[in-house]
Amino acid sequence: MSVLVVVRTPEEASPLVFWAARFAAARNKKLTVLCPTRSAQPQEAKKLPLHDATDEHPLRSAARAAIRGVQSILILDGGDSELELDLEKAAAEPAGDAARDEAPTAAGGAEPEQPPSEPNDAVKPTEGKLTQRFDKHVELVGISHPDIQAGTLAELKRRHADLTVIGYHEGVRGEETGTTLSGQALEVLPGEVLILRASGESGQRCNSILLPTSGGPHAAVALRLAHDVAKRSGGRLVPLYVEPEFGELSEAAGHVALERALKAAKLTVDVDHVTPRVVVADKPQHGITQAAREGHDLVIVGASDTTKLHRALFGTVPERVLREEKQLAVGVFRSARALSSRTWEAVVEVLTQPFPTLSREERLVLFDRLGEGSSGNVDFMVLISLSTAIACLGLLQDSTAVVIGAMLVAPLMTPMIGSGFALVQGNLVLMRRAALTIVMGFLIALAIGTGFGLVYFYVAPDIGLTSEILARGRPNLLDLVVAFLSGLAAAYALARPNLMGAMAGVAIAAALVPPIGSAGLSFAAGEYANGRGAAFLFGVNLLAIVFGAAVAFGMLGIRAQRNQASALTRWGRIALLFGTALVAIPLSGVLIAGFSRKQLERTIRVTPGLTLALERELIVMERESFVPTNLSLVEARNLRVDATADLKVVVACAGPVLPTLPDRLKGAAERYLGHPVRLRLVLLRAEWFQTSNGGAGD
């Protein structure tokens, strides 16, 4: 493991390498200097010699010059006493060229003829020893790629450095929004990251490091690092706390808060190396600016989830202060990411690797399409009204084809997919818009369904709920799985323009409007249990589709910058996952109960033996009756879609029957089948008479 510094321009080579060398020496780590260059074809990173007079590339030449300048930081300050003696010896012995320059000239000012000088034998082995020992402390690595940013980021991921130092390039497109190398490094690298704005001779001295202590957990880690650097360099660390003005106790309160921050970082006040500083100011930026003018060499700001690089670097220390203090450097520090977070992202990366990644243009088109489709405009209201009306008519007619037609018209799928996109991207504006559209669509559809039901059941009060309506009142775990897969398919199809034709099938599979229509019709008919079940089915579909869409967009490479992923969106993702798992529990119970019932239905087969057992029981009861009733078995069949009975028996009779008839038939069926039976008995009152040809009729 090492401290790695990325040098992208010759101008930043010296300050970045000097500061990175101080960090490496403080932690006793090897320093790796990475020089990325552009090439027509990508080339693997390779180690370069520290001394190469034939390499005239300006970037690598500047990096080598900077590396030569940090030898004392990496080696002599590191306590390599043997090498220090070698260096002193080499410095004391004049080189061949120097001895020749000091030789006396001949009379008349002419130089005497001398044989060609040989290299100084005393210096030559020392230089070799220096190179050999110095290689243990620093290495120069070159990498070439057509896309410097992509190639460098890939190499940084591969190396897993303990600390990565990257220069901030002011004015570069995307630098202020975190889309360039520095911003992406803060986002994805597992180790510590320092984005440093430094120039000129910055880093060649380290007398004082200023560190504001209000940067959260990142500032606590930065405190320990800055303390080690200051102690190693013989300088001092100035932990700073800016306390708002509220009276004469402001500064005392600031010292208490500062002591608490130092204690959290496991640091104690050291007279030689730690000098706490409290500034009373209205705003933190004003206090830091005031302290930065006091001759510090480095200001380190702890990163936060809402920090943007430009705001952190220039909002903390204004540009005018940086111009006045030529050697002042400003850095944004992010501590190493938690193991759980890195493990989860590694798993996600492995799972998403086979899927195509959306280009920038494709993401823009997708965002525009979802933003437009998630708006609750007039078009949305017209389509949701028409689709609900069609669905209600199909449900009342018990027509599956009409219900499918309503699914194709329904516009609810797009705002649900938009919600999943917003969760992945951390887009609060789109999330609010999509949520309001979904709520509005649900209320409109529920009102239309209830209105249809009130009119229909007022005109035909004796007609009950159809099987299409009843089927949507009993959701189970399979409905959740179907909705989740539908969300996956819909999001994938929307993101891939060549797959838009699959949206029709996805809309049919999801079935968003029919459950709302079924809920409204059930409420109008007074079947509140079925209505609640249908409304619950819509909620299940909503959760699962949004969750599936979020997973699909994650697989396609949609990511949120950490400065966009606010606490609200993170809690939204957690709530979505928790809600989906929560509704899966009762749905699993319904599914298991359904499996048990279906297993029971498969055992209740109306065989000739069961029919004969029922007929014999009727004959016995006929004999026991004092009044002839002419009991006759009309039908016995299995009820596969009824939740209240398993076996339906239809009996015709000519008169009053014994009240024990249902129990007697139920007992006969149970004795024959060998397990409990839920029986529904239907009595048909019939009149028997003799026909002219001697047959019987009714």
Summarised one tens digit per residue, pLDDT across range 592-621 is 766 655 555 555 677 888 889 999 998 888
pLDDT in tens, 540-555: 999 999 999 988 888 8
- Residue 455: pLDDT band by 50, 70, 90 thresholds? very high
Enumerate residues 6+ apart whose C-beta is below 8 A from 76.
Answer: 83, 84, 87
Q: Roughly what angle, to the nearest 10 degrees, separates helices 503-510 and 477-495?
A: 160
Question: CA 475, 480, 485 angle in degrees (round to 5)?
Answer: 140
Give the span between the Cα atoms of 660 and 370, in whole angstroms. Answer: 65
**Does 582 or 394 have the greater pLDDT score?**
394
Residue 652, phi then psi, degrees to nearest 5: -100, 140
So what's the pLDDT on residue 628?
74
Give the span between the Cα atoms of 13 and 356, in whole angstroms. Answer: 37
What does DSSP assign to residue 107? G
* Distance, first Cα to last Cα, the chain: 97
Q: Say if residue 525's pLDDT is above 80.
A: yes
Q: Using an 8 Å Cβ cutoff, are 262 and 249 in contact?
A: no
Enumerate residues 6+ apart whose C-beta is below 8 A from 163.
Answer: 3, 4, 23, 27, 29, 191, 192, 193, 194, 225
Residue 184, phi then psi, degrees to nearest 5: -70, -30
As a three-state string, the secondary structure of 188-199 is HCCCEEEEEECC
Amino acid code (one letter) for 299: V
So what's the pLDDT on residue 318?
47
Give the span between the Cα atoms of 148 and 239, in whole angstroms. Answer: 37
Q: Using an 8 Å Cβ cutoff, are 54 and 61 in contact?
A: no
Q: What is the DSSP code string of 617-676?
A: HHHHHHHH-SS----EEEEEEE-SS-SS-SEEEEEEESS---TTHHHHHHHHHHHHHSS-
So what's the pLDDT on residue 585?
84
State mean pLDDT over 238-263.
Answer: 82
So what's the pLDDT on residue 93?
47
* Three-state secondary structure call for residue 270: coil
pLDDT in tens, 635-687: 888 775 555 667 889 988 887 788 888 999 999 988 888 778 888 888 887 66
- Residue 58: pLDDT band by 50, 70, 90 thresholds? very high
Question: CA 357, 362, 367 angle in degrees (round to 5)?
Answer: 110
Q: Say if residue 397's pLDDT is above 70.
A: yes
So what's the pLDDT on residue 411?
87
Going through 282-366 in order, the beta strands assigned E by DSSP cover 298-302, 329-334
pLDDT in tens, 320-356: 554 555 568 888 888 887 776 667 666 666 666 666 6
State mean pLDDT over 223-236.
Answer: 89
So what's the pLDDT on residue 248?
73
Q: Say if residue 389's pLDDT is above 90.
A: yes
For the ranges 13-27, 133-147, 472-486, the maximum mean pLDDT occurs at 13-27
Residue located via tokens 């499918």? 404
Give the span between the Cα atoms of 233 and 205, in whole angstroms. Answer: 8
Beta-bridge mates of residue 684: 652
For the ranges 253-267, 276-290, 543-557, 578-592, the maximum mean pLDDT occurs at 543-557
State mean pLDDT over 549-569.
Answer: 68
329 CA to centre of own chain:
33
379 CA to centre of own chain:
32
As a three-state string, the secondary structure of 22-57 is HHHHHHCCEEEEEEEEECCCCEEEEEECCCCCCCCC
**1, two tokens:** 């493991």
